[in-house]
Amino acid sequence: MSDIKILGPNGKPLPPSRPKMSMLTGGSRVPYDAADSVSDQLANWQPTLLSPDNEINIYRDRIVSRIRDLARNDGWASGSITRITDNAMGANFRPIIKPDYRALALMTNNTSFDATWADEYGRVIEAHWRSWANDPGRYCDVERKQTVSQMLRLFQH
């Protein structure tokens, strides 16, 4: 492989386009590429260094308005937000009730807390959750307009 040479239009080997150096030497001016302030790629990138608390206070309104504009007007951004929401909580939020019956039995000295009780209790609570959270009358919402899953997804809009 070391015998292969790229030839120029005159048939002679091309000289190296830049001297051989480490990938992290930034052209030997600075120790790291990210610190180079005169390279073609980074010369115009001069961000200010503020504390995160100050940065969010200064630029919050601009950031929020841009994000909301993207979510409303850009299909890719809107789809990305929806996908992240779906992956984080799913299309229909529902808790999975699995009480720790062993700990309850130890804490209370009540042997009635066993696997059968935990399974039955979990099923009853999940049924009550479904009837409340997905009620057609929307009693879980003060305005009676949305289900619990719809309210939990509000942050994406």
What's the gap between Cα 36 and its chain centre?
Answer: 30
pTM: 0.46
Question: How many CB atoms are closer than 10 A to CB 69?
Answer: 11
Mean pLDDT of 63-92: 86
Same domain, 42 and 96: no
Would 116 be classed as within a structural domain? yes
In a domain, 57, yes or no: no
58 domain residue, yes or no = no
Identify whether 59 is part of a domain. no
Domains identified in the chain, total number: 2
Half-sphere exposure of 53 (CA within 13 A, CB side): 0
Residues spanned by the domain of 144:
92-156
Share of the chain above pLDDT 90, in %: 28
pLDDT value at residue 26: 46
Residue 19 lies in a domain: yes
The Cα 62–Cα 10 span in angstroms is 55
Q: CA 69 to CA 88: how far, in whole Å?
A: 22
- Asked, for residue 87, whether it belongs to a domain, the answer is no
96 and 152 in a single domain? The answer is yes
Residue 71 lies in a domain: no
Indicate whether 28 pLDDT > 60: no
User: Does residue 84 lie within any of the structural domains?
Assistant: no
Q: For residues 2 and 13, what is the distance between their CA atoms, to the nearest angstrom? A: 13
